[in-house]
Amino acid sequence: MFRSLLPLLARLALVLAVLLAGGPAAADPADIDAAARGVVRVVVIGRNGEEIFAISHGTGFAVAPEMVVTNAHVVSEALDDPGLVLGIVPSDGGQAVFGRLVAVSRRNDLALLTTTSPMRLPPLTIAGNPESETGAVTSVGYPQNVDRAQGLAMEDLFVAQPPVKSTGFLSGRRPSRDFDTLLHTAPIARGSSGGPLLDECGRVIGINSFGTDSGSADAEFFFAVSTRELLPFLRANEVDVRVNGLPCRSLDELEAAETAREQQQRAAADAEAAAAQSALASRREEARREAEFAVIEQRDDLMGLSFLLVVVALGAGGIAWRQQLLHEDTLADEPDEPERRYAFGTLAAGAVALAALAGAAGAWYARPSFRDVDAVVANRLREAAPAGADEPLASGTTEGTFACTLVEERSRVTGEPPAALNIDLSAGGCVNGRTQYGQEGGAWTRVFVPAEEAAVSVSRFDPADGEFVTERYLLGSEAMREARVARSRYEAPSCAATAEEARAFGGDQASLAALLPARPNERLVYTCRRTG
């Protein structure tokens, strides 16, 4: 009875884990830090001959590697004065470059800039369906009061500095100044304008624009231009922006749910095994009863045959004895009668008697013992087992074509991943005919270190359980440099790799994976079914 309750208890544990992990997910500092690396300082620059100097500044963030969005009022001075230019200063290493205005919308306080020299900025992801009433948020930008407190001069604004991050909560959607805005309590100040307002997964839900005028005793609130205004503006200017409309889930929430799911699977497997054992015990008991009846019947048949043969032997022996007496009497009465007159009958009857005795002895000793019941039971169970049930699974048969689908409830999605993908896996671990994976712990793995993007991806495919998992780590410039150096120390084998080469490649990748943070920024879980 306890075993029958295991699946129910596991389901209750899964519900409890989701409830405990429910509610607003705590912002992951790694996600906020990753988004902050795409935040830039936008500087309005004046010129005096060859000398350039900062006049004012605000904040912006990358929506493409060479495209930055900010507030229209941040660049308004440069719009009104052709003698002024714009500068874009990255937050994570690199050199400041000049920017060029692409589009300006004063109505909803938006402006789009492009870099005049390659910067390869990490684009931020836009929340496609953001929460607008409640939830924790983070403002990222360059408030001037912080610059003053640090003693930064205007010329220091051209040097890369990490942006300031401040947290608060959404206070609702508030249309104002003829455009859609979000009201929140994550502090901003002059200079923060144009910076992103982020959700717990580091996705943009708004662009900070202005704050309320309040006395010292009043609570401060701030306004951000919502993505309802931002997305149409970017699409109108043909910016291929990354949009993610999935719920924001923390890794803690996912791992708690994953633990509960594994417990449920184990409980279900235990219940299934218990049911199988119970069914086997029932079949064994039934087979034992049938075997006992069969043994008793066979014993009775052979013992009866043995008794019958003994009777035949006695009868044949009596005939042989009588024939012998007749032969002796004949010899006494008729001495001249040939001796073979009764000899054949005597011999024939004697032979029958001996054969019957031998058959009776054979039947008696051939009768089955009750100790043979277990062997009969085993034979019957073996005959009743499904064909191939005792055959081991063939090893090395991992190749095939798989169709994989993203499992949203098991994934933490911060970017814009494909909802489905196809995997063509060769026996040697080559995926889709072009990418060799390494073998590690029974699964196929590949660590991707791109030359341009500031992210490392670790993909793992286990064809045995039909699961493909990709984890992305959004790294800073120094961490990416170390990852690229580690990657340069080994060569990936071609798709004709041997099993030994695939295992060695898996070991090389493990040394690189050891440099990555303990937790990824994004985890994508796909379930795969074999299609060929």
Structure pTM?
Answer: 0.68
For residue 521, the one-letter residue type is: N
d(CA 437, CA 470) in angstroms, rounded, equals: 13
With H, G, I as helix, E, B as strand and everything else as coil, classify residue 117.
coil
Q: Please enumerate in sequence order all residues whose Cβ is within 8 A of that of 174, keeping only pairs 6 or more positions apart, or say none.
A: 181, 182, 183, 223
pLDDT at residue 386, rounded to an integer = 56
CB 341 within 8 A of CB 327: yes
pLDDT value at residue 330: 65
Model confidence band, residue 117 (pLDDT cutoffs 50, 70, 90): very high
What are 24-83's pLDDT values in tens digits? 445 678 889 999 999 999 999 998 877 888 899 999 999 999 999 999 999 999 998 988
Query: Residue 188: exposed, middle, or buried by beta-carbon count in 10 A (0-12, 13-18, 19+)?
Result: buried
- Reported as a pLDDT band with limits 50, 70 and 90, residue 110 is very high
Q: What are φ and ψ of residue 232, in 5° steps?
A: -60, -35
Map out the domains of the chain as residue ranges: 26-248, 254-384, 400-530
Amino acid at 183: L
What backbone torsions phi and psi does residue 120 show, to the nearest 5 degrees? Answer: 50, 55
User: What value does the mean pLDDT of the chain take?
Assistant: 81
Q: What number is the average pLDDT over the span 466-481?
A: 91
Query: Could you give the CA distance from residue 128 to residue 414 in angstroms, rounded to a whole number?
Result: 11
pLDDT given for residue 41 in this prediction: 95
pLDDT at 518: 87
Over the stretch 155-164, which tens digit does the pLDDT of each residue have?
A: 778 888 899 9
Tokens representing 376 are 């009969």
- Closest C-alpha to 126, from 52, 49, 63: 63
Out of 2.60.40.1190, 3.40.50.300, 2.40.10.120, 3.40.50.920, select the CATH number for domain 26-248. Answer: 2.40.10.120
| Greater model confidence, 10 or 420 | 420
CA angle 62/67/68 to nearest 5° reads: 50
* CA pair distance 24, 520, nearest whole angstrom: 20
Q: Is the pLDDT of residue 384 over 70?
A: no
- Classified as helix, coil or strand, 526 is strand
Residue 356, pLDDT > 80, answer no
State the average pLDDT over residues 5-24. Answer: 41
Kindly report, residue by residue over 172-214, the tens digit of the pLDDT: 776 666 788 999 999 999 999 999 999 988 999 999 998 876 5
181 vs 227: CA distance, rounded Å = 9
